[in-house]
């Protein structure tokens, strides 16, 4: 059993997480980030359920959260398979790549002013030279300089 | 004059201001083509102010507790959740989500749900998030893509989310401010079960003690929490557990079937064209 103030605080945290996930799933265009936002909404609901469960001293809410975990695992497995299939068809993790499925009266999403080069120039630390310059390595070109 | 009625307009103004500030901050932080470092900084400041405003509103409406541990883990969860949806790079987004999971797990632990706090870390951060990262690394090995730099309708979505959060805060504050009188409040199941099992408590039967919910006063930590949860899960909800197991199996088989069927048709196509 928890006091009512803790219940209020936990409900607020759950509400904040839910709304952040809602905004994320509405706006972001990367399919993976959209799924992360959905998981964030699930987390908010889980916090709310556990708070009420502890407030009432009833175990039903916590049992429900166990099932939420189970369903989230299933959902992630199935959804990632579909995301991978979608990626195999379009080569992008972009939700707008599938805008041919939109309703007839909606305008087409056209991106304006996107940067042509999405590379971020890395800022290397300035080190004083010491020793002999090592030999070049061909495998360097496979490394990623940003994430 | 009633002090609640006197503070209500100020609280309402504060709540409205917080809603507006949160909407503006989310809009500034979300990926757009026209954003600069300064606008992101302004968005972060506005967001921090809005969250403080929501906390203050909740305090004046119902009271935000002074529990420092809870505030810390809740802050970690909320700020990491915010960073999850506004970070440009999806890999960083996933890492921030792991951080948010850590915060949520802390919140669950503070609430006294020990098993769920640990299970959240194990299942989400250990399994689901790693799967997301696998797909991310597999599908987008070159890093940030142009479509990560823009959002769909960021202004409308930020306004919708902020307004929904304002409404939820308002209703939660009302909930705690106006506690219903005890005459018309439904007795919680714990009290009912306590009244029912009061006579049987003298028998000191372990199974009966496990199935009975936590009735021992107001302490927030239950030593037998996992045992109670297990007894509830495999007692009252045994059928649902079986259904969940079937669901897991079906999801496993289904995802493998979808993947392998896609590859098979591709091979068939290649064979035909050969």
Average pLDDT over all residues of chain B:
76
Residue of B nearest to A7 (CA): B111
Residue of B nearest to A24 (CA): B85
- Whether residue A4 and residue B153 make contact (CB cut-off 8 A), yes or no, is no
Which of A3, A26, A28, A29 best tests the B interface by mutation, with the highest count of B CBs <10 A? A28
Q: What residues are paired with B25 via a beta bridge? A: none
- Specify the 3-state DSSP secondary structure of A94: strand
A106 vs B179: which has the higher pLDDT: A106
- Inter-chain CB pairs, A–B, below 8 Å: 313
Residue of A nearest to B230 (CA): A63
B55 conformational bin, left if phi > 0, alpha if psi -120 to 50, beta if neither: alpha
Closest CA to A109 of B152, B36, B197, B52: B152
Residue A47 has pLDDT above 50, yes or no: yes
- Whether residue A9 and residue B64 make contact (CB cut-off 8 A), yes or no, is yes
Which candidate from B116, B175, B262 shows the least CB-CB separation from A62? B116
Q: Which residues of B touch A143 (CB under 8 A)?
A: none
pLDDT of B80 reads 94
Give the Cα separation of B195 and B190 in Å (integer): 9
Q: What is the mean pLDDT of residues A1-16?
A: 86
Tally of domains within chain A:
1
pLDDT of B72 reads 83
pLDDT-wise least confident of A133-147, B32-46, B74-88, B187-201: B187-201
Q: What is the mean pLDDT of residues A82-103?
A: 85
Residue A136 has pLDDT above 50, yes or no: yes
Q: Which residues of B touch A33 (CB under 8 A)?
A: 84-85, 90, 93, 148
Render pLDDT for B99-140 as a digit per residue (tens, 0 to 9): 999 999 999 998 888 899 999 999 888 888 988 888 888 887
pLDDT of B221 reads 61
Q: Which CATH entry fits the domain spanning B3-177: 3.40.50.300, 1.20.120.1200, 1.20.140.10, 3.40.640.10?
A: 1.20.120.1200
Chain B within 8 Å of A5 (Cβ-Cβ)? yes
Which of B48, B120, B130, B135 best tests the A interface by mutation, with the highest count of A CBs <10 A? B135
Q: What is the mean pLDDT of residues A108-131?
A: 73
Q: What is the mean pLDDT of residues A69-78?
A: 92
Residue of B nearest to A66 (CA): B116
Residue B200 has pLDDT above 60, yes or no: no
Q: What is the mean pLDDT of residues B214-224?
A: 53
B202 vs B81: which has the higher pLDDT: B81
B188 vs A119: which has the higher pLDDT: A119
Render pLDDT for B129-165 as a digit per residue (tens, 0 to 9): 988 888 888 887 666 777 888 888 888 999 999 999 9
User: Alpha helix (H) ranges present in B198-237?
Assistant: 206-211, 225-235
The DSSP call for residue B123 is I
Residues 6 or more apart whose CB falls under 8 angstroms from that of B65 comprise A3, A5, A6, A8, A9, B71
Q: Would you say B244 and A70 are in contact if contact means Cβ atoms under 8 Å apart?
A: yes
Which candidate from B110, B135, B237 shows the least CB-CB separation from A83? B135
Residue B5 has pLDDT above 70, yes or no: no
Residue of B nearest to A65 (CA): B116
B73 vs B140: which has the higher pLDDT: B73
Give the Cα separation of A52 and B45 in Å (integer): 32
Residue of B nearest to A110 (CA): B152
pLDDT of A16 reads 93
Domain of A10, CATH number, reads 1.10.287.3510
- Could you tell me the residue ranges of all domains in chain B? 3-177, 189-273
- pTM of the predicted model, to two decimals? 0.74
Question: Burial letters for B89-111: b for 16+ Cβ neighbours within 10 Å, e otherwise?
Answer: bbbebbbbbbbbbbbbbbbbbbb
Q: What is the mean pLDDT of residues B189-199?
A: 52
pLDDT of A142 reads 60
Task: Identify the H or E element spanning B247.
Answer: helix B238-273
B72 vs A20: which has the higher pLDDT: A20
Give the Cα separation of A84 and B135 in Å (integer): 7
Residue B13 has pLDDT above 60, yes or no: yes
CB atoms within 10 A of CB B7: 13
pLDDT-wise least confident of A43-52, B153-162, B223-232, B243-252: B223-232
- Whether residue B244 and residue A87 make contact (CB cut-off 8 A), yes or no, is no
Q: Which domain holds residue A42?
A: 4-96
The highest-confidence range among A115-124, B125-134, B191-200, by mean pLDDT, is: B125-134
* Assigned token pair, B4: 């609640």
Which of B35, B68, B71, B132 best tests the A interface by mutation, with the highest count of A CBs <10 A? B132
Phi, psi (rounded to 5 degrees) for A127: -115, 145
Which of B255, B258, B264, B265 best tests the A interface by mutation, with the highest count of A CBs <10 A? B255
């Amino acid at each position: 059993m928890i006091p009512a103030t803790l219940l209020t605080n936990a409900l607020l945290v759950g509400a904040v997480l839910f709304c952040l996930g809602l905004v994320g799933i509405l706006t972001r265009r990367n399919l993976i980030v959209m799924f992360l936002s959905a998981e964030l909404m699930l987390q908010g609901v889980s916090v709310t359920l556990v708070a009420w469960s502890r407030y009432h001293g009833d175990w039903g809410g916590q049992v429900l959260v166990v099932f939420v975990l189970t369903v989230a695992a299933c959902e992630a497995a199935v959804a990632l398979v579909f995301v991978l299939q979608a990626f195999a068809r379009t080569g992008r993790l972009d939700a707008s790549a599938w805008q041919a499925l939109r309703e007839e009266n909606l305008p087409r999403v056209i991106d304006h002013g996107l940067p042509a080069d999405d590379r971020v120039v890395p800022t290397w630390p300035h080190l004083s030279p010491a020793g002999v310059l090592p030999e070049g390595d061909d495998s360097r070109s496979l490394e990623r300089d940003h994430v | 004059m009633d002090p609640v009625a006197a503070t209500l307009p100020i609280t309402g103004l504060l709540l409205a201001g917080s809603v507006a500030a949160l909407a503006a901050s989310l809009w500034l932080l979300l990926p757009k083509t026209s954003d600069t470092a300064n606008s992101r900084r302004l968005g972060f400041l506005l967001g921090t102010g809005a969250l403080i405003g929501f906390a203050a509103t909740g305090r004046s409406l119902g009271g935000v507790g002074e529990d420092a541990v809870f505030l810390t883990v809740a802050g970690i969860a909320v700020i990491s959740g915010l960073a999850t949806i506004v970070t440009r790079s999806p890999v960083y987004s996933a890492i921030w989500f792991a951080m948010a999971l850590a915060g949520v797990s802390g919140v669950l632990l503070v609430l006294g749900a020990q098993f769920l706090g640990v299970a959240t870390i194990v299942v989400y951060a250990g399994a689901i998030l790693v799967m997301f990262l696998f797909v991310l690394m597999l599908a987008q090995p070159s890093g940030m893509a142009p479509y990560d730099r823009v959002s769909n309708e960021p202004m409308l979505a930020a306004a919708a989310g902020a307004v929904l959060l304002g409404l939820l805060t308002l209703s939660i504050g009302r909930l705690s401010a106006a506690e219903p009188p005890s005459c018309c409040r439904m007795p919680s199941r714990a009290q009912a079960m306590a009244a029912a099992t009061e006579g049987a408590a003298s028998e000191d039967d372990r199974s009966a003690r496990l199935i009975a919910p936590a009735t021992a006063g107001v302490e927030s930590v239950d030593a037998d929490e996992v045992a109670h949860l297990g007894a509830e899960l495999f007692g009252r909800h045994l059928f649902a557990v079986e259904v969940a197991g079937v669901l897991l199996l079906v999801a496993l088989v289904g995802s493998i079937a979808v993947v392998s069927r896609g590859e098979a048709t591709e091979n068939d196509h290649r064979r035909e064209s050969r």
